[in-house]
């Protein structure tokens, strides 16, 4: 999709707001009613029936739930082969962003009570309509500028009385940090799952962290949710009243029957806000169920492995760190050797260090992470950011990692010490960044401009302004003389780095240009765009040389192999490999359950990393 495009002759797309595993969301203008709206467009032309079903279900449930605390769905329709949903436009921030602004402290007590009450009342309305959200978490609770709270993203919700399912048997949806024990066991979700998640959200709002540390290994995290009680909020924070701490404990009860429903939870929160309000009678917890007979060893192992495997497909983000495939001989060609599932939201960027020892990833969970693939470990070199980390890039010597995002900042991290240097303050959200080959400059994409930073002084050396739309991607030529930029105006621009001037404008894409990359010899430039094509250019002649057509969705990332013979492209849920000389498709790598946002070859060309909206990074062994 591109700026200015009109859907159904009525909704004009203005500004992209974000992209997830199912669709991209735009700020749009309803030309008939003269109002601003949000439009969510299904990403893929040939989406499978499960994805189409979930998208339709989100629209149906959104239209069905009429409550001030739930995002309103205005309309649905079809644009070409793509479905879209029109929703009310929300202005404000989600509670994950609100918490990130107060790291480790939680929110003021009156605010927690008010937000908790609003969430409980909205859940009560959903449950009354027999709708279970299944993925309640701070990131799905949106605080408007006027103080109202909205529950968002009913994409994986289900009706409690549904006789059919949109998911494969045994597949689990949710976010591990807030998943109820019965979700970990792969049992059917009911309203009690949402109440457990509400308890986890209240715990996070009060203490600054979910009930159990997300840094735990997946096995430990699963066991804790199944068997252990988290620390009571009043033992972590002195001003938490006992009745509020008790409510959180009741909501986090292991047995679903022991948890208060939404109406009871709202009454208890209302009483804490207004002591004179009537209080619902206390709920008497049921007697514990008889213990299940101990299963034989192999069967119990199957349950645990099933739960963990299900967590790896969670729509809202998963926890497991590294999962390795293959025997002693290593992963087979065309299959992922390692799946990194530590991010809790979409992974928008991946990059290998120049020596190939480390892999960096940036995510919508507001973190940039470094992975030592040989050791099978990872770390976050910096605290969580205030907004999505959109891009990561290593300096040519591998000593510095640049990570930039929508919080208008570029962090420069000392890779060896895992400590931040003085960062760079951008004027707008940064969508892409790249080091010059000599390491003296950093180029970034800020709104409709490209800025060149002098890294020695930390100042802007030049501002390159010629695009008619937001700049999505930047890349230096191997000799450092030319900079390429791709934008939402559908053009690729070439810049003379030394002269700080525009050298050429390349046109031909039928939509926005999402990614640009130079071949190792600098003789070819590749660009991928919203028209589902890859274009190859001769940058010296400023002319197109080939069009590679075969993707079924926006090509969000392109990367050449170190020898220049192969081009990788991420589009839809697939990574495609192209033979550059033959201009033909060489292979397809399938495995991601969300759109692929970034691809990067290792320096030796043996591996390819891909980051996806399914919250995972996959490392593939290339034939």
Closest by CA to 358, choosing from 381, 391, 324, is: 381
Measured in whole angstroms, the distance separating CA 35 from the mean position of its chain's CA atoms is: 28
Rounded to 5 degrees, what are φ and ψ at 596? Answer: -80, 125
What secondary structure letter does DSSP report for 177?
A: G
How far apart CA 295 and CA 300 sit, in angstroms, is 6
Distance CA(463)–CA(483), nearest Å, equals: 13
Helix (H, G, I), strand (E, B) or coil at 474: strand
> Does residue 214 sit in helix, strand or coil?
coil
The CA distances from residue 314 to 21, 361, 616, in Å, are: 11, 19, 10
* Spatial separation of the C-alpha atoms in residues 557 and 571, rounded to whole Å: 7
The backbone torsions φ and ψ at residue 251, rounded to the nearest 5 degrees and listed phi first, read: -65, -30
Q: Categorise residue 229: left if φ over 0, alpha if ψ from -120 to 50, beta otherwise.
A: beta
> Tokens at residue 46, please?
């040939």
Q: What are the respective helix, strand and coil percentages of the chain, to the nearest 5?
A: 20, 35, 45
What are the E-state strand segments in 287-367? 322-324, 336-340, 347-352, 358-363
Ranges assigned E (strand) in 235-388: 322-324, 336-340, 347-352, 358-363, 368-372, 377-379
Q: How many residues does the structure list for the chain?
A: 623
Q: What is the distance between the alpha carbons of residues 277 and 285, in angstroms, rounded to a whole number?
A: 23
Residues 6 or more apart in contact with residue 338 via CB below 8 angstroms? 322, 323, 324, 325, 331, 373, 376, 618, 619
135: annotated active-site residue: yes
Among 46, 114, 135, 604, the active-site one is 135
- Calculate the alpha carbon distances from 343 to 117, 139, 297, 397, 430 in Å: 29, 14, 31, 26, 20
Strand segments (E) across 145-238: 149-151, 158-159
CA atoms of 159 and 181, how far apart (whole Å): 20
In contact, 589 and 574? CB cutoff 8 Å: yes
Tokens of 71: 């995002």
**Angle subtended by helix axes 297-311 and 218-227, to nearest 10:** 110
Give the residue from 315, 407, 394, 385 showing the smallest Cα distance to 612.
Answer: 315
Cβ-Cβ contacts under 8 Å for 69 (sequence gap 6 or more)? 118, 119, 121, 122, 125, 148, 149, 150, 151
Per the listing, tokens 């029109």 go with: 86
CA distance 500 to 482: 10
Characterize the bridge pairing of strands 82-88 and 617-621.
Answer: unpaired
**Residue partners of 76: CB distance under 8 A and separation at least 6:** 59, 63, 83, 84, 85, 86
Cα–Cα distance for residue pair 367/388, rounded to 1 Å: 8
- Which residues are catalytically annotated? 135
């Amino acid at each position: 999709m591109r700026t200015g495009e009109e859907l159904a002759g009525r909704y004009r797309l203005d500004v992209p707001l974000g992209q997830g595993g199912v669709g991209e969301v735009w700020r749009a203008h309803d030309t008939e009613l003269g109002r601003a709206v949000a439009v969510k467009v299904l990403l893929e032309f040939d989406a499978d029936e499960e994805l189409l079903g979930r998208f339709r279900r989100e629209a149906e449930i959104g239209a069905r739930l009429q409550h001030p605390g739930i995002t309103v769905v205005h309309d649905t329709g079809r644009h070409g082969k793509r479905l879209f949903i029109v929703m009310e436009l929300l202005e404000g921030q989600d509670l994950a962003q609100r918490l990130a602004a107060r790291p480790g402290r939680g929110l003021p007590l009156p605010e927690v009570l008010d937000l908790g009450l609003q969430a409980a009342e909205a859940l009560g309305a959903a449950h009354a309509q027999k709708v279970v959200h299944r993925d309640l978490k701070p990131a799905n609770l949106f605080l408007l500028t006027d103080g109202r709270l909205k529950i968002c993203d009913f994409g994986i919700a289900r009706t409690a009385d549904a006789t059919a399912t949109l998911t494969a048997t045994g597949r689990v949806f949710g976010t591990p940090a807030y998943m109820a024990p019965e979700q970990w066991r792969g049992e059917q979700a009911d309203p009690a799952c949402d109440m457990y998640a509400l308890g986890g959200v209240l715990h996070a709002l009060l203490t600054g962290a979910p009930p159990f540390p997300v840094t735990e290994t997946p096995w430990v995290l699963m066991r804790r949710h199944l068997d252990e009680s988290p620390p009571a909020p009043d033992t972590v924070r002195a001003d938490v009243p006992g009745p509020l701490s008790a409510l959180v404990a009741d909501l986090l009860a292991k047995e679903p029957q022991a948890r208060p429903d939404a109406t009871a939870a709202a009454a208890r929160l209302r009483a804490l806000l207004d002591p004179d309000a009537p209080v619902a009678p206390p709920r008497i917890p049921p007697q514990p169920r008889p213990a299940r007979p101990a299963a034989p060893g192999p069967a119990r192992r199957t349950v645990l492995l099933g739960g963990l495997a299900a967590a790896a497909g969670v729509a809202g983000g998963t926890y497991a760190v590294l999962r390795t495939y293959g025997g002693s001989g290593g992963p087979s060609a065309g299959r992922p050797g390692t799946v990194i599932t530590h991010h809790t939201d979409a992974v928008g960027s991946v990059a290998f260090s120049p020596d190939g020892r480390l892999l960096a990833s940036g995510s919508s969970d507001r973190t940039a992470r470094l992975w030592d693939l040989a050791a099978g470990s990872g770390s976050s070199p910096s605290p969580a950011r205030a907004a999505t980390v959109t891009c990561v890039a290593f300096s040519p010597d591998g000593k510095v990692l640049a990570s930039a995002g929508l919080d208008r900042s570029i962090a420069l991290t000392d890779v060896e010490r895992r400590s931040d240097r003085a960062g760079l303050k951008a004027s707008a959200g940064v969508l892409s960044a790249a080091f010059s080959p000599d390491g003296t400059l950093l180029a970034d994409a800020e709104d409709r401009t490209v800025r060149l930073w002098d890294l020695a002084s930390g100042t802007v050396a030049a501002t390159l302004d010629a695009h008619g739309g937001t700049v999505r991607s930047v890349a230096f030529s191997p000799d450092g003389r030319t900079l390429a930029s791709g934008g939402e105006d559908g053009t690729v621009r070439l810049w003379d780095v030394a002269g700080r001037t525009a050298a050429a404008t390349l046109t031909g894409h039928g939509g926005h240009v999402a990614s640009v990359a130079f071949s190792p010899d600098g003789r070819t430039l590749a660009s991928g765009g919203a028209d589902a094509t890859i274009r190859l250019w001769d940058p010296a002649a400023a002319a197109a040389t080939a069009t590679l057509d075969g993707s079924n969705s926006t090509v969000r990332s392109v990367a050449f192999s170190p020898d220049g013979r192969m081009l990788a492209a991420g589009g839809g849920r697939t990574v495609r490999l192209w033979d550059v000389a033959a201009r033909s498709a060489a292979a397809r790598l399938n495995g991601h359950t969300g759109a692929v946002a970034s691809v990067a070859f290792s320096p030796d060309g043996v591996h390819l990393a891909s980051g996806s909206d399914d919250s995972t990074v996959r490392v593939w062994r290339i034939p």
